[in-house]
Structure 1
Amino acid sequence: MCAYKRRGFIRLGLLHRTFRLNILFSMKSIVISAAFILAKVASVIAHGGVTSWSVGSTTYQGWQPYLSAAGQDTAGRPYSSYNPILDAVDPTIHCNNDGSNGPIPESITIAAGSDITAHWTQWTHAQGPVTVYMASCGATNCNNVKSSGLQWFKIDEAGLLSGTVYDGSWGTGIVMDTLEWTATIPAALKPGAYLIRFELLALHQANTPQFYPECANLIVTGSGTAFPSSDYLKPIPGAWGANDPGVNIDIYLDSAKTQTTYPVPGPPVWSGSNTPPPTSAPVTTPPPSTTVPTTVVPPPTTTAAGTVAKYGQCGGIGYSGPTGCVSGTTCNHVNDYYYQCL
């Protein structure tokens, strides 16, 4: 009987211990899950992405990176997170993905000359430029067109707006305050299917640029006939490099405290005219001449009496002419090869 009770107590003890361990493991799982959720929230809290677009009073749903792709009916191109692209020539930097559309692609119809606004739900970086690009899809719509390999042209930019690179006002500072940016489709642009690309470039980490690009499908209408010339068209990646002065920049250097200009990466803005963009031709200085200058010497002039006229040669190595000078002058040494009557 005692042995039986003892075994019963042992079983009860084991059950009690197992129950406690299960509770502890459950609590630990809850703590780990909570920490994971908080970490995910913290990982995106300082970053951002375009989550909607608007034309006039109409708002269009953008891509939602933290929801399932299935069922997302939007003109926005898919992207996976609010995290930045850190490589200036990353193969996904065109639209922050592999170039594909979402499962249910739509298009935003907009007349040339009208405004389109991109909206963010969060953004906290105030140092850096905002740029807006477009690219022709070369088809009736962009549904089956990949953004990789297209030729892009810039329609809007805002870099350093005032002050110095160190503590001035930037385009991304406006986005931080308003969580939106508005660009105008060039009025002269010919109708067609285009991609539009909004990019925030954060420069708050020295020499470590953070690119945040997002795209949407457009159908541009109107009576325009213009399209950018090759001077304005660039591939992305390829429109800038890792060593471009607007990309590889430390805004905290002492020199940045007095620097009041900033070169926005990429081609010049195309406003509808194909006038070649201004270029600053380098000032070149011709190399110094290696020719030894020679002194123009008047030919020796002799008088009938065999004397040399004023300024004529009267001696020197290899000279075999008269050595006497006319009255009032004497033969003077200029160099070992030339004596002159002066």
Structure 2
Amino acid sequence: MKFSTVATAAASLLATASAHGGVGVYTIGTTAYQGWQPYNSASGQSSIQRQYASFNPLMIPDLTTVNIRCNNAGILGTGLNAAVAAGATIKTKWTQWTHRPAAIMIYMAKCPSAGCNNWDGAGKVWFKIAHQGLVSGTQNAGKWAGDQITDTLEWVVTIPASLAAGEYLIRHELLALHQANNPQFYPECAQLTVSGSGTASPPSSALVSFPGAYSASDPGVNFNIDSDAAKTATTYPIPGPAVWNGSGSTSPTDPEPSVAPPAAPTTLVTSAVAAPTTPPVTCTPVAKFGQCGGKTYSGCTVCATGSTCKANGDYYSQCV
């Protein structure tokens, strides 16, 4: 009985670990940019996404550390930016995700004139361009934004059409709320070069820093999904600032997620290039039933059209 109990607990821990994930691919138009592969060697990896070590969550003690910014201790870029026009969409695809409920928050930060690659994102420079938490029903039993990612692994966000051109960091963050008063934060950052004729920048009142944007006492952080209040409440106080609406003000409302996907990707960017003028490097999508991931895997992680990369333990993922 004791062995059985230990085995059951170990299986439970493994299932919990496999439920985590991170953004694996960013798609802009017909170009797909490979995300960081945390369980592979950092040697030789180049991505628009900042390096991070694992799919493990950040918890309340991490809110006061630099790790909460981009899920690392201030590691800089690898030399790759993604080109995107103001007003265009970015579709993100997570490697895996099963946590319910969850909120999503998306931030940007304008990089210095020298660019993003050697800048760590410090300071009161981050502004929120989208967020969504509880969509309908009660906190305890309703529909949440994270359900869409659990079901499809995808989310689409629009870059503010009025945003001034330049280099920016974009920060996608999932906030898993399944543990009472102990939420799990999953942030990742990537580098963008925004083009267009826009001239708008968010006001100082819309800017926050990481760490600093969240506190353990925030109602959306100090939150118990199983409380009596959660069984009747029909709104959820999303942590952080209001969404910047592209003008001189912020919007307190929760925008609906964009559901119109960009065109199917034709190019996968997997190594460092001088964006946006140098042609991207490509890899051939993996055929159905082929390996597409795992701790020791170093090949292409995008599946051919019609199949999706699914994890089967830490060391093997397959296109199915």
TM-score, length of structure 2 as denominator length: 0.72
Taking the aligned partners of 2:16 and 2:178, their CA distance within structure 1 comes to 17
Taking the aligned partners of 2:40 and 2:16, their CA distance within structure 1 comes to 16
Note the C-alpha offset of 1:150. Answer: 5.2
Alignment-derived partner of residue 108 in structure 1: 82
1:84 aligns with 2:57: yes
Alignment-derived partner of residue 72 in structure 2: 97
The alignment covers a number of residue pairs equal to 241
Note the C-alpha offset of 1:42. Answer: 4.7
Alignment-derived partner of residue 34 in structure 2: 61
Alignment-derived partner of residue 271 in structure 1: 245
Secondary structure class of the residue paired with 1:148: coil
Contact 2:245 2:251 in 1 (8 A): no
| One of 134, 155, 170 as aligned partner of 1:181 | 155
Q: Percent identity?
A: 53
Gaps of 5+ in 2: 1-10, 253-320
Contact 2:104 2:145 in 1 (8 A): yes
Q: After TM superposition, which residue ranges in structure 1, 4 or more long, deviate above 4 angstroms?
A: 38-43
CA distance 1:41–1:65, shift in 2 (3 Å): farther
Cα displacement string for residues 61-115 of structure 1 (whole angstroms, at most 9, x for unaligned residues):
110000111111111100000000002333210100122224x320001000000
Alignment-derived partner of residue 46 in structure 2: 73
* Residue identity in the other structure for 1:73: S
Secondary structure class of the residue paired with 2:205: coil
1:184-333 pair list within 5 angstroms: 184-275=158-249
Gaps of 5+ in 1: 1-37, 279-342
CA distance 1:70–1:57, shift in 2 (3 Å): same
Cα displacement string for residues 272-313 of structure 1 (whole angstroms, at most 9, x for unaligned residues):
1113667xxxxxxxxxxxxxxxxxxxxxxxxxxxxxxxxxxx
Contact 2:102 2:133 in 1 (8 A): yes
Alignment-derived partner of residue 265 in structure 2: none
Note the C-alpha offset of 1:252. Answer: 0.6
Cα displacement string for residues 24-57 of structure 1 (whole angstroms, at most 9, x for unaligned residues):
xxxxxxxxxxxxxx99965630111111111012
Taking the aligned partners of 2:16 and 2:150, their CA distance within structure 1 comes to 18
* Residue identity in the other structure for 1:187: A
* Residue identity in the other structure for 1:253: S
Taking the aligned partners of 1:179 and 1:166, their CA distance within structure 2 comes to 22
Note the C-alpha offset of 1:147. Answer: 2.3
Cα displacement string for residues 203-259 of structure 1 (whole angstroms, at most 9, x for unaligned residues):
000000100000100000000000000111011111121110011100111121110
Secondary structure class of the residue paired with 1:67: coil
Taking the aligned partners of 2:249 and 2:123, their CA distance within structure 1 comes to 25
Taking the aligned partners of 1:139 and 1:250, their CA distance within structure 2 comes to 43
Secondary structure class of the residue paired with 1:177: helix
1:126 aligns with 2:100: yes
Contact 1:134 1:196 in 2 (8 A): yes
1:139 aligns with 2:91: no
Cα displacement string for residues 101-131 of structure 1 (whole angstroms, at most 9, x for unaligned residues):
24x3200010000001111111011212100
Secondary structure class of the residue paired with 1:174: helix
| One of 45, 52, 61 as aligned partner of 2:25 | 52
Secondary structure class of the residue paired with 1:110: strand
Contact 2:132 2:145 in 1 (8 A): yes
Secondary structure class of the residue paired with 2:233: coil
Contact 2:160 2:246 in 1 (8 A): yes
Taking the aligned partners of 2:178 and 2:222, their CA distance within structure 1 comes to 12
Taking the aligned partners of 2:149 and 2:250, their CA distance within structure 1 comes to 31
Contact 2:126 2:208 in 1 (8 A): yes
Higher relative contact order (CA 8 A, sep 6+): 2
